[in-house]
């Protein structure tokens, strides 16, 4: 009896239950499809939520986890499958037996598929991810090969040899590349960097470009910090070099690392940085010559381009114009005169790009022929000067020379600083507003880039010059405009003579070592531009009280990293348009109020406690930059509202807005900003939103503004 009962139960299990389930697909056909629609709606909502999380992560520069990306792809596939099933519902309703009976086979198949897919969707939608992203190391601008890069055989062969050295753990660990300036060393090591990353030869690959730009006194520390930053290490300012070196060594010693230092002009003791050439730590250096003090185990000399390579590069940069036979014949000769120096080829070809005048090409060749027996550096100077002579004389030429004299050893130029100078010198014509001047400056900078006289920088807000181009700009400015320029570590042992100063139009002393300034006032009746940038604010450099008396035509003055107790020494500079007192320790700045022609006043990152009421007399002021003035606590009421021509106001560090009294004296009020009818750009810090008047920004010309509000909550 028990055997019979068990047998019957098995028969029911294998026959009745499956039959019931299959019949159920027909009975619950509509509800199964509705269930699928409902689950699909839930999945769509889950996909939207995930999309928002992913979008937010990507906006912050984060990388999305692979399982999250896979979930999204699978969700899209499931959605398509569900939509296909629901789209077949109409076909399932087609009746069989000449329309007498419903199509049960189609109903059954569709219901079964929808039931299984609904369960799959339910499980997929419920899957949770505690985190969708992670902080990935940011890509460098040179991670991606430039469209202008050309893989020449003369370069490929050296890249292959270097890569072979890097792949072999038992061969040389300290490799050097040397060659004259402009021959393409930086471009070559960027290609090595990319290949090493692509082949995943190392756990870490670090490239520090343009090492020579760092001031000599800070060079080792700056290189060390750059390497640490690129390795995503936490760089502690409080640590000394030795402590950071230990941290850096502990970071790389157990991993395979490649460190590339580009444009090293003087020997560096690598151990001081925390580096030691070994099988797990390969080091690649580039320099203009062999550094005998650095024991490179393998060196490669990078020569100029072969003639065919030089022509290929020239042809690419010059464009289709050289396809014309008469121009092509002249162009090939011009390319030969560039001597295979890539920076020279690119500069000349870019300047002639799309120029279809045969006469212009012939004139270029005529000028080059004078230098048949000269060296490459002189040829480079000639070519860059020739490109300069082709620039617009009214705006582009003066801007190019200005970039040269302020680029200094770093060859990097701040566009915000350049804007202040350009406005003070009125280099941009037919422009009245700060915003128009800013737009015009960017347009002119792009034209200089098109001529390969300026380059994009690795940081936003800056441009840079190739060092050869910078040197030529300084040379032209010296011989044509009587400009005097020294920079970054140069020690001034003697000053220009009286005859030169009498004709001098600009002086730029950028982070020089200046033992002392002349006590006898200089007589510079033609001087329009003067930058005096101290190497270190702790240096004891002082400006004599009568120092500026012979510079009455001065339009732009930048004094950086000095201690100035009184600014009475500036009272004679009544024609001054731009005054930059950046990173200074300032005492009484009331005398600045007498410089009523000022358009630009910059106290960037300076220590100043008060903006006195006399500043309110600067009714022509268009830009006031108080960024980083963290010690500024007092701006008397009415000063800001008196600056009726102000268009650009940057004071994100000032927090003592009116809302009470400060030391018994009334302070500035946020409502004063409404009186500045010309204001188009604003950066302020409002510690309490209650200080912000209603309709603060209605009826204004503001195009961009940043308002920082910080609320401090005590525990």
**305/183 Cα distance (integer angstroms):** 8
Position 674 in a domain: yes
Residue at a domain's end among 107, 134, 161: 134
Residue at a domain's end among 284, 301, 318: 301
pLDDT at 112: 75
Cβ contact 700:679 at 8 Å: yes
Query: Are 532 and 509 part of one and the same domain?
Result: yes
Give the count of beta carbons closer than 10 Å to the beta carbon of residue 594: 17
Closest CA to 472 of 533, 405, 563: 405
Closest CA to 327 of 349, 359, 350, 351: 359
pLDDT at 364: 84
Query: Are 272 and 355 part of one and the same domain?
Result: no
Please report how many Cα atoms fall inside a 13 Å half-sphere around the Cα of residue 119, on the Cβ side.
Answer: 5
Give CA angle at 515 (513, 518), nearest 5°. 120
Query: Are 312 and 460 part of one and the same domain?
Result: yes
What b/e string do you get for 365-402 counting C-beta neighbours within 10 Å, with b at 16 or more?
bebbeebeeeebbebbbbbbbbbbeebeeebbbbbbbb
**536/617 Cα distance (integer angstroms):** 32
Give the domain range for residue 524. Answer: 503-600
pLDDT at 645: 95
Residue at a domain's end among 115, 134, 153: 134
Position 483 in a domain: no
257-261 vs 281-287, strand pairing mode: parallel
pLDDT at 336: 85
**Number of domains making up the chain:** 5
Q: Position of tokens 């042809």?
A: 315
Query: Are 313 and 459 part of one and the same domain?
Result: yes
Q: Is the dihedral of CA 196, 200, 203, 204 positive or negative?
A: positive
Give the count of beta carbons closer than 10 Å to the beta carbon of residue 713: 4
Query: Are 268 and 312 part of one and the same domain?
Result: no
What b/e string do you get for 267-289 counting C-beta neighbours within 10 Å, with b at 16 or more?
ebebeebbbebeebbbbbbbbbe
3-state secondary structure of 50: helix
pLDDT tens digits, residue range 556-595? Answer: 999 999 999 889 999 999 999 999 999 999 999 999 999 9
Query: Are 710 and 566 part of one and the same domain?
Result: no
Structure tokens at 394: 């009214």
What CATH number corresponds to the domain at position 619? 3.80.10.10
Position 541 in a domain: yes
DSSP for 291-355? -TTS--SEEEE-PPPPHHHHHHHHHHHH-GGGGSHHHHHHHHHHHHHTTT-HHHHHHHHHHTTT-
Query: Are 345 and 453 part of one and the same domain?
Result: yes
Position 322 in a domain: yes
Structure tokens at 664: 């018994």
What CATH number corresponds to the domain at position 179? 3.40.50.300
pLDDT tens digits, residue range 36-54? Answer: 788 888 888 888 889 988 8
Position 13 in a domain: yes
pLDDT at 93: 55
Query: Are 152 and 51 part of one and the same domain?
Result: no
**409/510 Cα distance (integer angstroms):** 9
3-state secondary structure of 658: coil
Q: For the chain, state the CA radius of gyration.
A: 35
3-state secondary structure of 420: helix
Query: Are 273 and 176 part of one and the same domain?
Result: yes
- The residues with which 604 forms a beta bridge, in sequence order, are none
Query: Are 627 and 669 part of one and the same domain?
Result: yes
Which regions in the chain score pLDDT beneath 50?
1, 3-17, 20, 95-101, 371-374, 660-663, 710-715
Position 487 in a domain: no
Please report how many Cα atoms fall inside a 13 Å half-sphere around the Cα of residue 120, on the Cβ side.
Answer: 14
Cβ contact 647:678 at 8 Å: yes
Position 476 in a domain: no
Position 472 in a domain: no
Query: Are 148 and 275 part of one and the same domain?
Result: yes
* Long-range interactions of 532-536: CB distance < 8 A, separation 24+: 532/507, 532/557, 532/558, 532/559, 532/560, 532/562, 533/509, 533/558, 533/559, 533/560, 533/561, 534/560, 534/561, 534/562, 535/215, 535/217, 535/489, 535/511, 535/561, 536/217, 536/561
* β strands within 339-454, DSSP E: 412-414
**710/705 Cα distance (integer angstroms):** 16
Query: Are 248 and 326 part of one and the same domain?
Result: no
């Amino acid at each position: 009896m028990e055997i019979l009962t068990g047998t019957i139960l098995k028969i029911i299990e294998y026959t009745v239950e499956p039959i019931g389930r299959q019949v159920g697909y027909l009975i619950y056909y509509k509800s199964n499809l509705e269930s699928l629609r409902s689950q699909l709606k839930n999945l769509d909502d889950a996909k939207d939520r995930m999309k928002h999380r992913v979008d937010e992560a990507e906006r912050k520069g984060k990388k999305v986890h692979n399982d999250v990306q896979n979930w999204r792809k699978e969700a899209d596939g499931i959605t398509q499958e569900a939509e296909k099933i629901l789209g077949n519902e109409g076909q399932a309703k087609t009746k069989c037996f000449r329309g007498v009976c419903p199509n049960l086979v189609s109903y059954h198949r569709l219901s079964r598929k929808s039931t299984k897919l609904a369960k799959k969707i339910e499980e997929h939608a419920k899957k949770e991810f505690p985190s969708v992203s992670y902080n990935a190391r940011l890509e460098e601008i040179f991670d991606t090969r430039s469209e202008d890069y050309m893989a020449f055989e003369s370069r490929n062969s050296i890249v292959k040899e270097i890569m072979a050295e890097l792949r072999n753990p038992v061969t040389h660990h300290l490799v050097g590349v040397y060659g004259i300036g402009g021959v393409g060393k930086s471009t070559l090591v960027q290609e090595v960097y990319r290949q090493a990353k692509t082949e995943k030869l190392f756990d870490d690959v670090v490239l520090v470009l343009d090492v020579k730009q760092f001031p000599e006194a800070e060079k080792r520390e700056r290189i060390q910090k750059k390497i640490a930053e690129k390795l995503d290490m936490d760089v502690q300012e409080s640590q000394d070099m030795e402590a950071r070196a230990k941290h850096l060594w502990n970071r790389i010693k157990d991993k395979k690392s490649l460190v590339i230092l580009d444009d090293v002009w003087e020997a560096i003791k690598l151990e001081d940085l925390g580096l030691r050439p070994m099988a797990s730590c390969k080091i690649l250096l580039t320099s203009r010559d062999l550094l005998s003090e650095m024991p490179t185990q393998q060196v490669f000399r990078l020569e100029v381009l072969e003639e065919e390579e030089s022509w290929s590069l020239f042809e690419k940069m010059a464009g289709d114009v050289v396809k014309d036979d008469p121009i092509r014949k002249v162009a090939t000769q011009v390319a030969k005169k560039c001597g295979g120096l890539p920076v020279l080829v690119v500069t000349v070809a870019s300047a002639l790009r799309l120029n279809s005048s045969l006469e212009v090409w012939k004139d270029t060749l005529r000028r080059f022929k004078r230098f048949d027996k000269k060296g490459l550096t002189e040829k480079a100077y000639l070519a860059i000067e020739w490109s300069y002579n082709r620039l617009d004389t009214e705006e582009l030429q003066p801007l190019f020379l200005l970039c040269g004299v302020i680029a200094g050893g770093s060859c990097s130029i701040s566009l915000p600083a350049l804007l202040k100078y350009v406005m003070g010198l009125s280099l941009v014509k037919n422009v009245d507003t700060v915003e128009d001047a800013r737009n015009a400056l960017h347009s002119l900078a792009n034209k200089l880039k098109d001529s390969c006289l300026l380059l994009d920088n690795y940081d936003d807000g800056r441009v840079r010059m190739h060092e050869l181009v910078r040197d030529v700009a300084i040379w032209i400015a010296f011989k044509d405009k009587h400009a005097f320029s020294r920079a970054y570590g140069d020690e001034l042992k003697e000053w220009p003579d009286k005859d030169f100063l009498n004709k001098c139009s600009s002086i730029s002393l950028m982070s020089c070592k200046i033992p002392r300034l002349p006590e006898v006032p200089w007589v510079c009746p033609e001087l329009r531009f003067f930058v005096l940038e101290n190497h270190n604010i702790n240096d004891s450099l002082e400006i004599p009280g009568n120092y500026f008396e012979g510079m009455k035509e001065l339009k732009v003055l930048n004094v950086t990293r000095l201690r100035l107790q009184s600014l009475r020494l500036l009272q004679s500079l009544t024609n001054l348009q731009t005054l930059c007192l950046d990173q200074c320790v300032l005492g009484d700045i009331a005398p600045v109020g007498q410089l009523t022609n000022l358009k630009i006043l910059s106290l960037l990152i300076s220590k100043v406690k008060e903006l006195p009421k006399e500043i309110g007399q600067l009714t022509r002021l268009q830009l006031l930059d108080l960024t980083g003035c963290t010690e500024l606590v007092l701006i008397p009421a009415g000063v800001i509202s008196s600056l009726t021509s102000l268009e650009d106001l940057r004071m994100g560090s000032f927090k003592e807005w009116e809302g009470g009294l400060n030391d018994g004296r009334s302070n500035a009020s946020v409502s004063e900003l409404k009186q500045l009818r010309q204001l188009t750009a604003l950066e302020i810090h409002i510690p309490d939103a209650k200080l912000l008047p209603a309709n603060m920004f209605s009826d204004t010309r503001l195009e961009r503004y940043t308002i920082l509000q910080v609320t401090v909550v005590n525990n």
